[in-house]
Structure 1
Amino acid sequence: ERLFNVREGFSRKDDTLPKRLLNEPLPDGPAKGETINLDKLLNEYYTVRGWDYNGIPTDKKVLELGLTPLYDGPKIQVAIDERYMKDALPLAEAAYRGGADIIEAGTPLIKSEGLRVIKEFRKLCPNATIVADLKTFDTGWLETELAAENGADIVTVMGATDDYTIKDAVGAARKYGLKVMVDLMNLKDPISRAIEVEKLGVDIVCLHVGISAQIREREVDQKITIVENLVKSINTPVAVAGGIKLEVVPLLVKAGAKIIIVGGAITKSANPEEATRRFVTTVRKLWDEYKQKSNK
């Protein structure tokens, strides 16, 4: 029923109660004398049902029911690369409210605050997919296990490491129900390495220029050709990160990227929630247009 409602355009703004119930104090119970907090009520109800902040059933919940998700296109991942928890949490919540599919606890944040940030993100973003951007280079099993114990859904491993580390990470991920994203940062031949790690069973490969390089170059346009070639070379979903602005998104969607990772364009904007919403809306509109053309 909810999937039908979403398909017909209903959303969070349509979920309400009679004004009488919202305006009159509760007659009894623990909250006697208080009025109903609709926003809090919806958050708790959506969490229990397995819906996101906007009331849309998550892919995980839909698949559990043996159904097909309404949306099968590229997803927006928001990278939270703050240093302190106090700065990161409002950004994670804003990204979640804006409709981000994936929330990333960035490497600087994890190094500063520890993996406990994953648990804090989960409290604010109960039905989001959460990435622990560990950039693992050794102890693949242990670090993946630690990420799992703290509630992560995806863990990152460096493509420049040895195959054994990646195999260990994949083994732990299978045991604990995580996915492994391999970061192809700073590799001279990322496509060849992507082909190799695909054979090791990784779930996602990420073409990533990295923050330091991003500061020097600030452009991702030159990566488009590599993305296209990467998508053609492997069956594993391709994620792209590094200085991505809204105007680049159509190129990435056309190139075949399945996950578009956005950092500063959202987290450093005046309104991160609205900035996230613009990215999500743009990607979904582009994907709908692509599917319509494909069906003709």
Structure 2
Amino acid sequence: MIIQLALDRMNMKEAIEMARTVESSIDWIEVGTSLIKEFGTTSIKKMKNQFPDKKIVADMKTMDNAAYEMDLCFQEGADVATVMGAAPDVTIQKCLEKASEYKGQIMIDLLNVSDSRFEQLQIYNQAVFCEHVSKDSQEIAEHVVAKMRKQDGLIRAVAGGITLASLPEMIRQGPDVIIIGSAITKAKDPAEAARLFKETINMVKGVNEV
């Protein structure tokens, strides 16, 4: 199970320092939408240069103009880029084509995607599918976490409001990628928080496999 660290609402120096602090406990590093919007796609390159052995996720949240945006992030060193599941099929298809061209990967963000649309999206089974509770939703309702829709054969991710308390339930839902942001980055001791996330994942997985 992969831990993806989501980095948002900070400057690039802080983001790099945070990733360095928790590096041993995380697998993928997400250059969040806020970083890309504030500092441009060079933020992707800066993160990749600092962590060449980590997968770098560019959270582009592409809705249109797919070829241009995918070129931008993959040329800067992204390994994974995100597109919204609500985007037109032609946009998602173009993202997947560009990912293949750069030997990268696409993550489809299922934020506000209906069950019927989710079914339609399953033809893109080479992508990672991310169930996502938005930041705005988290701010108006405490303890809101994503619920994963059951579908075998897909690579699944989950994001939004995940804490150590909610982590065991998330693990039982069986995601391949768990995306964690504030529970690590806002912790008093981010390195210890990241270590506990990794330890809990290993422990719960071990119990479930017995």
1:84 Cα deviation from its structure 2 partner: 1.7
Query: Are 1:89 and 2:16 matched, yes or no?
Result: yes
- Looking at structure 2, the residues matched to 237 and 146 of structure 1 have their Cα atoms a distance apart, in angstroms, of 25
Out of 249, 263, 269, the residue aligned to residue 167 of structure 2 is: 249
Query: Are 1:204 and 2:128 matched, yes or no?
Result: yes
Partner SS, residue 53 of structure 2: coil
1:259 Cα deviation from its structure 2 partner: 1.0
Q: CA contact under 8 A between 1:210 and 1:242: conserved in structure 2?
A: yes
Unmatched runs of 5 consecutive residues or more in structure 2: none
1:95 Cα deviation from its structure 2 partner: 2.7
Counterpart position of 1:235: 153
Deviating more after overlay: 208-217 vs 103-112 = 208-217
- Looking at structure 2, the residues matched to 205 and 254 of structure 1 have their Cα atoms a distance apart, in angstroms, of 17
Identity of aligned residues (%): 36
Q: CA contact under 8 A between 1:92 and 1:124: conserved in structure 2?
A: no
1:160 Cα deviation from its structure 2 partner: 0.8
Query: Are 1:280 and 2:207 matched, yes or no?
Result: no
Query: Are 1:113 and 2:31 matched, yes or no?
Result: no
1:83 Cα deviation from its structure 2 partner: 3.7
* Deviations 1:54-104, CA, capped at 9 Å, x for gaps: xxxxxxxxxxxxxxxxxxxx211110002421221111212313x201110
Query: Are 1:160 and 2:78 matched, yes or no?
Result: no
1:1-296 matches, within 5 Å, as 74-97=1-24, 99-187=25-113, 189=114, 191-221=115-145, 223=146, 226-227=147-148, 230=149, 232-291=150-209, 293=210
TM score, norm. by length of structure 1:
0.67
* Deviations 1:6-33, CA, capped at 9 Å, x for gaps: xxxxxxxxxxxxxxxxxxxxxxxxxxxx
Q: CA contact under 8 A between 2:125 and 2:154: conserved in structure 1?
A: no
1:123 Cα deviation from its structure 2 partner: 2.8
* Deviations 1:178-225, CA, capped at 9 Å, x for gaps: 1110101123x2x3323222203441111111111111113234x3xx
- Looking at structure 2, the residues matched to 234 and 141 of structure 1 have their Cα atoms a distance apart, in angstroms, of 29
Q: CA contact under 8 A between 1:182 and 1:205: conserved in structure 2?
A: yes
Identify which of structures 1 and 2 has the higher relative contact order when contacts are C-alpha pairs closer than 8 Å and 6+ apart.
Answer: 2
RMSD over aligned CA atoms reads 1.5
TM score, norm. by length of structure 2:
0.94
* Deviations 1:246-282, CA, capped at 9 Å, x for gaps: 1111111111111111111000111212211111111
Unmatched runs of 5 consecutive residues or more in structure 1: 1-73
How many residues are matched?
210
Partner SS, residue 233 of structure 1: coil
Paired AA for residue 155 in structure 1: A
Give the number of the structure whose residues are more often strand, by fraction.
2
Counterpart position of 1:62: none
